[in-house]
Structure 1
Amino acid sequence: MKKLTLVFIIGIFTLSIVWGALSFFQAEETLAAVDMEQVISPEAEIIGDDEEAVDNEEKEIKREADNPNDSEEVDTVEDVDLKEEKNQDKNNTAKGKKVFLTFDDGPTSLTPEILDILKEHDVQATFFVIGRLAEKDPDMVKRTYAEGNMILPHSYTHDYAIYSTFETFYDDFYRAEEVIQDILQMRLPPIFRFPGGSSNHSSFAYGGQQFMPELTKDIIEKGYYYIDWNVSSGDASPDYKSKEKMLQNIFNGLQNRDVAVVLFHDVARNTKMAQILPEVISRLQNKGYEFRTFKDITKEELDRMVQLKIANKPIVR
């Protein structure tokens, strides 16, 4: 009887060890799977006139919405900003609401249609262009600027490998700046947009997690403003196929905002985005928004964008 009891106890003990080991390995596999899901593919998705790849910026938008704590003081300052915006929204008729329409990744075959729509509605926008595409179509860059819109850099290559070192980033960035300045024969203001936005995770595969916090500090010290957005059309996600969904994204995002920077993508596939643009403009006009660009932006407007973390958002990791 004692032997049977001993065998039974040993059996139970052995089973518990095996069960514990299995649980451990399953947990390790789960953690590994989670880690892999958080890693964005290091392959550069360069949007050109002949390509219909989804821009990684939309992945960054979704990731940022799910993980808002990449920025400084979000636990307190964002709450204060939202209260300010709600209070200001009550007096928007007197103070005026401002909207900055921004288009990334051009120029492409879609650019003329966008420009025609803007011109028809007597509205201007800001185009953050890719330098290598601007080189291929300088006349479109000139037309865009001549019609009252602003042209600013969005890198030369839109290759996330530029986030490997400061040298690789600045070589690419200054090249884009130089291309635009040569085409327009003018000096650009110190304003631009990062590929993927300032808090992107695509840089992890190249410069590591601390690369963007360090780079953003350095570029501010150089006197630049980097511009993100606080409203996304979703036109770089599968939503680009649905006019209704893009309109919903835009006007849900606009709620309680006195300053709105709206993100669109000037890529060939986005014909439905162009189709909703007249409605977007009309509805914004009916809501009392003043259309602004970074061509004649004021210091007061830039300061407000910094306060709202649309411009020069601090990145802490």
Structure 2
Amino acid sequence: MLLLLLLPTTTIACPKPVYLTFDTGHMEVAPLIAETLKRHDVKVTFFAANEKTKQGDGSLGDHWAPWWKARAEEGHAFASHTWDHMYWRADLPGGRFKVRSSAGPDAGRDQTVTAAQYCEQIQRAADRLQSLTGQKPLPVFRAPGGKTSPAFLAATQACGWRHVGWAPAGFLGDELPSETYPNQTLLAKALRDIRPGDILMAHLGIWSRKDPWAPAVLEPLITGLKAKGFCFATLREHPDFK
């Protein structure tokens, strides 16, 4: 008689994780990105600001609410990108900062803010994400453009927010001009240079790029990295941000 021994299954951690993240943008390609991620069972982290969009009332507006809810149901993670997509530009005396937003009522104008005011920007986007997704966002944020200073990072961490940038190879290039950085060039560079543990960054639509990066590069990037033994995880699983 042949006896079958049933052993309990165990989950083996992937030895080559990468952490794909998306910042908001004009959102036109957001549905296609979501379809691609779902098709390949890839979970990512979305950093959201209330940016101008091609359809609707801003990337965190009511028009896009069902989209965010669906991503939460699929198991993705979320974090703040500041409400008005507020760029740090310089440190100023007295713990203040020069900033410039690309969205909101003060878009395109230099402003002076305190650390507390900047942290309010982070919190407002996080609060809106929680109301849209029913999920508490991660206690991290991404400064627009990745622009920071040591004083700025110390100030935002003091109010409870750790900054998340990206690896050098993780800059996927979707905001570069497609005339000089065509999609195939960006794909080849990413597949060549990405290493285990890298945080990757792209956008849900870039206004200036004529040949959209997503989903044209996204699908072959996912399949190419998986073929090399990589797996995808959200920043919930990242050792620095658990």
TM-score by length of 2: 0.71
Paired residues of 2:26 and 2:206 also in contact (CA < 8 A):
no
C-alpha RMSD of the superposition: 2.6
Give the secondary-structure state (helix, strand or coil) at the position aligned to 1:297.
coil
Does residue 263 of the first structure (1) align with residue 239 of the second (2)? Answer: no
CA gap of 1:100–1:107, structure 2 versus 1, over 3 A, is farther
Residue matched to 2:38: 119
Paired residues of 1:99 and 1:289 also in contact (CA < 8 A):
yes
CA gap of 1:216–1:277, structure 2 versus 1, over 3 A, is same
Larger Cα-atom Rg: 1
Residue matched to 1:146: 73
Unaligned residue ranges in structure 1 (runs of 5+): 1-93, 200-211, 305-317
Q: Which runs of 4+ in 1 moved over 6 A?
A: none
Paired residues of 1:102 and 1:127 also in contact (CA < 8 A):
yes
**What displacement does 1:107 show?**
6.8
- Rounded to whole Å, the distance in 2 between the matches of 1:185 and 1:303 is 20
Question: Which structure features the higher share of strand residues?
Answer: 2
- Rounded to whole Å, the distance in 2 between the matches of 1:238 and 1:252 is 20
Give the secondary-structure state (helix, strand or coil) at the position aligned to 2:145.
coil
- Rounded to whole Å, the distance in 2 between the matches of 1:243 and 1:276 is 6
Residue matched to 1:78: none
Paired residues of 2:24 and 2:205 also in contact (CA < 8 A):
yes
Cα deviation code 1:117-176 (max 9, x no counterpart): 111111111111113521241111111221121121111111332673224312321211
Paired residues of 2:80 and 2:137 also in contact (CA < 8 A):
no
CA gap of 1:149–1:95, structure 2 versus 1, over 3 A, is closer
Residue type of the partner of 1:170? C
1:236-275 correspondence to structure 2 within 5 Å? 236-239=175-178, 242-254=182-194, 257-267=195-205, 271-275=212-216
- Rounded to whole Å, the distance in 1 between the matches of 2:213 and 2:157 is 36
Residue matched to 2:4: none
- Rounded to whole Å, the distance in 2 between the matches of 1:262 and 1:297 is 14
Residue matched to 2:145: 196
Match of 1:187 among 136, 148, 169: 136
Give the secondary-structure state (helix, strand or coil) at the position aligned to 2:75.
coil
Give the secondary-structure state (helix, strand or coil) at the position aligned to 2:237.
coil
Residue matched to 1:232: 171
Unaligned residue ranges in structure 2 (runs of 5+): 1-12, 51-57, 88-99, 102-110
Paired residues of 2:77 and 2:137 also in contact (CA < 8 A):
no
Paired residues of 1:197 and 1:228 also in contact (CA < 8 A):
yes
Residue type of the partner of 1:226? H
- Rounded to whole Å, the distance in 2 between the matches of 1:246 and 1:101 is 15
Number of matched pairs: 195
- Rounded to whole Å, the distance in 2 between the matches of 1:185 and 1:246 is 35
Match of 2:219 among 278, 289, 301: 278
Residue type of the partner of 1:103? F
**What displacement does 1:268 show?**
5.6
Residue matched to 1:164: 112
Residue matched to 2:23: 104
Cα deviation code 1:15-39 (max 9, x no counterpart): xxxxxxxxxxxxxxxxxxxxxxxxx
